[in-house]
Structure 1
Amino acid sequence: MPRAARRPPRLRGTVFRGSQAIADGLLTRNELRSSTWRPLFRDIYADADLPVSHRTRCALVARWLIPEGAAIAGRSAACLYGATNLDEQAPVEVVVPAGTRFGPVAGLRIHTTTLTDQDVRRRDGVPLTTAHRTCWDLARWLDPVEAVTMIDQFLARRIVTAPGLRDYALARAGDRGWRLALRAVDLADPGAESPQESRLRVRLVLAGLPRPETQYVVSDRGRFVARLDLAWPEVKVAVEYDGLWHSDPRQFHLDRRRLNRLLGNNWIVLHVTAQRLRDDFDGFVAELQARSTDAAKITLLPGNSGLDSCR
């Protein structure tokens, strides 16, 4: 039988530098390579029984890897603020002040740009970009749909406000990507209740449709009828994103009863699934236009509604 790997008490349930463990005589190089220890970054290991999240990885990067003046940024900062979830294996995003030589480092996504002391704060000892700076960077670094999806969550959680983000972007007018940041703020909406709802709404607007109202409440003579994900109340057309909760029979029953009431109020309600959003979005837009009434049809707005012109 193979010998069980040694697990020195000092290292159990901890994260440590491999070189230091070897220097202290706690492990040999061969023992360090065993499945008992999990490599996280170069020379940084964890007890394999220790749960490691993206937040954990961010803390380790801040403690042992990034230079003075650098900070956790982008999607990783958004994760620390609770505006998104990231897989443990996702690269940790960091921003390094211009002129600082650092990297590349496996497991990190490094951005080098202008960074001031006012753009960085500490949270549980971890330096990360402020919420406003994080949203600014997301708008400049990410696909427009994904950037707005995360900014929606910042707004929904009241971490930032739209006027505050707008002022931040306007104060940096002329900087690379400032128009992208401003446009992302204009597209953002705190009403989205899930990232997929955000993605659906933003893609519809970028496709040229008028901006829908989020979480629109339909009433009949003062009585509540339904709350809709996205709605154009002036033409009584709505879009509902069908998420995983539809596997719940009771929720499915309640939802269909709600939609029956809407039909009685002359609403048209279209449903879109993750597969439709991914594989047939153009077809869904065409269906949305075709199903609206001839008298008050949802029409595409003239011109390009995308963000490319804002760069």
Structure 2
Amino acid sequence: MRCGATCSPTELRSGAWRSLFRGIYADASLAITHRDRCLAVCRYLLPADGAVAGRSAAALYGAGDAANAIEVVVPRRSRFGPVRGLAIHSADLAEADVRDLNGVRVTTPVRTCWDLAQWLDVVETVVLLDILVRRRLVTVADLETYARGKRGTRGWRRLITAATLVDPGAESPPESRLRVRLVQAGLPRPVTQYVIERDGAFVARVDLAWPAYKIAVEDDGTWHAASDQLHRDRRRLNRVLGADWVVLHVTAQRLRDDFAGFVEEVRAALRSRARRR
């Protein structure tokens, strides 16, 4: 809701109203969603030829968390901004790259992926592309076609690079980050959510695996710390080890403080198993 003459400055400063953006207020009793904020931006702030983009667009499509500032893209010729609460990007923007999503003017899924590749590092780009591809909003072929259609344009190879790393089998952002970082470190590309079997019977499903070497990596996120989950994980680990697999565990702290050391452990395990083949 936008308030002008209907509310006095004193009323707007009261607890009855919440400021969304400068000059735009909402009833404080309402639960304001990311879509509500994007709708307010499109309705009251954004030029008619601009659009919600980047991480904000991805969040509208169900990928990732919404950033505090709403990301928007406007044509290069636009003189829009700056506006508190908006992250404004200037770029070439064709009308074919924009769609109406329940009243919000937003970049299409494939254009959203293009912008993510331009504005984020490759790891964080792939995290969101994994989700968008898994949700079938876009395909890897769509991304490669779009990027090649912009061949010669600055940044077109960034989307190609990200597309080659996409894996819709990833089930969480931490898993996507780990997979991409391992590949960037020069390790063979692992299989996501691999099902281990013995004599045709299910044994376990692991986050990442190199099946030919019987090596798996498990990302021990904070949810694994719960006592019942830890019990299930360790019982599952015993079954996997009994199937002659090597399972390497990595924690968030290890990823933060000693990722290079973990990479060397995985590399050593792969070399050891390669000698046995």
Taking structure 2 as the reference length, the TM-score comes to 0.94
Contact 1:235–1:293 at 8 Å: present in 2 too? no
Query: SS state of the match for residue 153, structure 2?
Result: coil
CA distance in 2, matches of 1:241, 1:247: 12
Instruction: State the identity as a percent.
Output: 58
1:45 matched to 2:45? The reply is no
1:16 is the counterpart of 2:2: yes
Per-residue deviation at 1:243?
A: 2.0
State the distance in 2 between where 1:31 and 1:121 align: 37
- The structural deviation recorded for 1:220 is 1.1
- Pairing 1:208–2:186 present: yes
Q: Matched residue of 2:272: which SS?
A: coil
> Is 2:49 the partner of 1:63?
no
CA shift, 1:35, in A, is: 2.9
Paired residue for 1:193?
Answer: 171
Q: 1:236 deviation in Å?
A: 1.3
* Greater C-alpha Rg: 1
Which residues of structure 1 form unaligned runs of 5+? 1-14, 298-311
Select which of 246, 249, 260 maps to 1:271.
249
Whether 1:158 and 2:158 are equivalent positions in the alignment is no
TM-superposed CA distance for 1:253, in Å, is: 2.2
Q: Report SS of the residue matched to 2:213.
A: coil
- Write the letter of the residue equivalent to 1:278: R
Q: Once the 2 structures are TM-superposed, how far is the Cα of residue 293 of structure 1 from its aligned partner?
A: 5.1
**Amino acid paired to 2:39:** A
- What does residue 229 of structure 1 align with? 207
Q: Which moved more, 1:242-251 or 1:164-173?
A: 242-251
Distance 2:118 2:173 in 1: 19
User: What is the RMSD of the two structures over their aligned residues, measured on CA atoms?
Assistant: 1.5
- Give the Cα–Cα distance (whole angstroms) in 1 for the partners of residues 134 and 232 of structure 2: 25
Q: Structure 1 stretch 188-197 or stretch 245-254: which is displaced more?
A: 245-254
Question: What is the deviation of 1:250?
Answer: 3.1
Q: Cα deviations across residues 185-237 of structure 1 (Å, max 9, x unaligned)?
A: 00110011000100110111111111111111111121111111111112111
Find out whether 1:93 has 2:71 as its counterpart: yes
Match of 2:54 among 51, 74, 95: 74
Residue from 257, 261, 273 that aligns with 2:239: 261
Displacement of 1:28 in angstroms is 2.5
- Give how far 1:51 is off: 1.2
- 1:276-295 deviation per Cα after TM superposition (whole angstroms, max 9, x unaligned): 22222112112222344525
Query: 3-state DSSP class of the match of 1:122?
Result: strand
Q: State the partner residue of 1:282.
A: 260
Secondary structure at 2:208 match in 1: strand
Q: Which amino acid aligns with 2:125?
A: A
- Letter of the 2:35 partner, please give it: R
CA distance in 2, matches of 1:205, 1:269: 18
SS in 2 for 1:226: strand
- How many angstroms apart in 1 are the aligned matches of 2:270 and 2:148? 38
Distance 2:28 2:255 in 1: 38
Distance in 1 between the 2:12 and 2:121 partners? 40
SS in 2 for 1:229: strand
Q: Give yes or no for contact 1:72–1:95 (8 Å, CA) kept in 2.
A: yes
Equivalenced residues, count:
275
Is residue 2:89 matched to residue 1:111? yes
Q: 2-side partners of 1:179 and 1:293: how far apart?
A: 32
Indicate conservation of the 8 Å contact 2:187/2:267, yes or no.
no
Tell me the SS of whatever aligns to 1:68. coil
Offset at residue 49 of structure 1 (A):
1.9
C-alpha distance after superposition, 1:75-134 (max 9, x if no partner): 0000000011225xx110011012111001110011111111110010101110000000
d(CA) in 1 for partners of 2:66 and 2:273? 45
**CA distance in 2 between partners of 1:69 and 1:107 (Å):** 19
8 Å Cα contact 1:214/1:229 also seen in 2 = yes
SS at match of 1:49: coil
The TM-score, its normalising length taken from structure 1, stands at 0.84
Match of 2:221 among 243, 253, 256: 243
Unmatched tracts of structure 2, length 5 or more: none
